[in-house]
Amino acid sequence: MADNSQPHFLFITYPMQSHINPALHFAKHLATTTGATVTFSTTIFAHRRMFSSTPNSDKSFNDGLITYLPFSDGFDEEGYKRATMDLMEYFLLFRTNSKRNVSILLNDLVTGGRPVTCVVYTNLLTWVKDIAGEQGIPLVLYWIQAATVFATYYHFFRGCFESLIMLNLLRELFKILDREQEKMKSRVLINTFQEWEIDALASVCNEVEAIPFGHLPKEYTNSVAGYLFGEDEKKYMEWLDTKEEGSVVYISFGSVSVMKKEQMEEIVKALKESKRPYLWVVRKDNREEELLAIEEGEDEMVVEWCSQVKVLSHRAVGCFVTHCGWNSTLESLVCGVPTVGVPHWTDQAINAKLLVRGLELVMGEGEKSVDIRRKAKMLKDKALEAVTAGTNQDCRRF
Ligand code: UDP
């Protein structure tokens, strides 16, 4: 059994930006507010990209707050390659390799006199349950999507639709929660704010202790950002400085979604018609050979990757056209920026339902537009209130 006298939290995250961002914020918050030992672990491939601009990209290290300790998932050099790998095959190999290597990592920490007393893991890493169980270490899921999405899956998997193969991974996760409940109420930390999703949280509260744990993204913009992509060198913040308040359309579809050339053409057309300045993130891995030449000029800027929270916090940004990834959704709400949702897959359609709609509608001067902006501000205030009042981010409840 682990030594419980020295709290040591090990965060294990799936190697995607949307898992790394909230888990890293959470880890930093925990280390700062409780003084506990915190170790952050993702795959070697993601670790290298997170720290590519530092001397630490190829090793574990401590930044004075957190120890970063990567594990191998067997894909250290190239990660998951969408174009050439079968996703299911990748998941199976990822699981086998990661399970073995995280188990070794846990043993090494015991041998090195730093036993882990609690494991925090993000969605999709159901195998963590087995290895923590074998070593008698308590673990807690950090659900990095909306409580509404959690509640939807929760009720779905307890219903009669169990045979859908595509949902295998998530079904497994909810089975784990069911098994836990045989002994006691499952405890899940959810990346949201109490006031935003009262109904969804209430709908699972009889069976699950769902603790809202959203973060305010602005808190950590000056420390390690944990980006898997290199920030564009273009002076996009200075460019924003030259624009009028609330005039710029910011467009980004996150770290995974790929847009087809035709879809980009449609966006270009819509942007031209709107006659508003825009800042558009088109990642390097979304720039195929037959790349669409997107016009750039005084009022148009295209970047490969930016510091999104800084952009959303800039006074010039009036609207965010987003794929509705949960992190982007939270960030737009916390920064009080009205959004136009273009959901692609997984939880994004539900997230879009939680957002407001319509470019002209949100940026115009009509009664409805003013009302939407008022609501965006109200949601931001509620998030701030929740954090200040301690209904969120209360590490003692954890
Ligand atoms: N992001 C960023 N710069 C960019 C594009 C995205 O910092 O140019 C960050 C964004 O702030 C968010 C994360 O990448 O925290 C994307 O996560 P999300 O859940 O929105 O979408 P996913 O990448 O999983 O589709």
Instruction: Kindly give the distance from the C-alpha atom of residue 21 to the centroid of ligand 1, in angstroms, as a whole number.
Output: 8
Instruction: Kindly give the distance from the C-alpha atom of residue 328 to the centroid of ligand 1, in angstroms, as a whole number.
Output: 6
pTM comes to 0.77
The DSSP-derived string for 168-203 is HHHHHHHHHHHHHHHHS-EEEEESS-GGGSHHHHHH
Is the distance from the beta carbon of residue 188 to the nearest atom of ligand 1 less than 6 Å? Answer: no
Is the distance from the beta carbon of residue 347 to the nearest atom of ligand 1 less than 6 Å? Answer: no
pLDDT tens digits for 226-274?
Answer: 889 989 999 999 999 999 999 999 999 999 988 888 888 888 899 989 9
Q: Out of 18, 229, 303, 306, give the residue to mutate to test ligand 1, the one with the largest number of ligand atoms within 8 Å of its CB.
A: 18
Is 47 an annotated catalytic residue?
no
Averaged over 115-133, what is the pLDDT?
Answer: 94
Is the distance from the beta carbon of residue 212 to the nearest atom of ligand 1 less than 6 Å? Answer: no
Whole-angstrom distance, CA of residue 278 vs CA of residue 319? 10
Element (H, E) at 162: none
- Minimum CA distance residue for ligand 1 atom 11: 308
pLDDT tens digits for 289-321?
Answer: 555 667 788 999 999 999 999 999 999 999 999
What domains lie within the chain, and their CATH numbers?
8-221+388-397 (3.40.50.2000), 236-385 (3.40.50.2000)
Neighbours of 338 (CB within 10 A): 25
Two structure tokens written together for 73? 């998932």
Instruction: Kindly give the distance from the C-alpha atom of residue 305 to the centroid of ligand 1, in angstroms, as a whole number.
Output: 9
The DSSP-derived string for 248-262 is EEEEE-TTT----HH
Mean pLDDT lowest for which of 53-62, 259-268, 350-359? 350-359
pLDDT tens digits for 166-218?
Answer: 568 788 888 888 887 777 888 899 998 887 788 999 999 988 999 998 876 65
Instruction: Kindly give the distance from the C-alpha atom of residue 191 to the centroid of ligand 1, in angstroms, as a whole number.
Output: 15
Is the distance from the beta carbon of residue 21 to the nearest atom of ligand 1 less than 6 Å? Answer: yes
Whole-angstrom distance, CA of residue 81 vs CA of residue 304? 19
Whole-angstrom distance, CA of residue 323 vs CA of residue 251? 9
Q: Tell me how far apart the 2 most distant CA atoms of the chain are, in Å.
A: 65
pLDDT tens digits for 80-122?
Answer: 988 888 888 999 999 999 999 999 999 999 999 999 999 999 9
Residue 241 near residue 279 (C-beta atoms within 8 A): no
* For residue 288, pLDDT beyond 70: no
The catalytic residue among 19, 25, 47, 314 is 19
* For residue 327, pLDDT beyond 60: yes
Q: Which residue's structure tokens are 């998951």? A: 80
Is the distance from the beta carbon of residue 194 to the nearest atom of ligand 1 less than 6 Å? Answer: no
Nearest Cα to 36, choosing from 12, 68, 71, 67?
A: 67
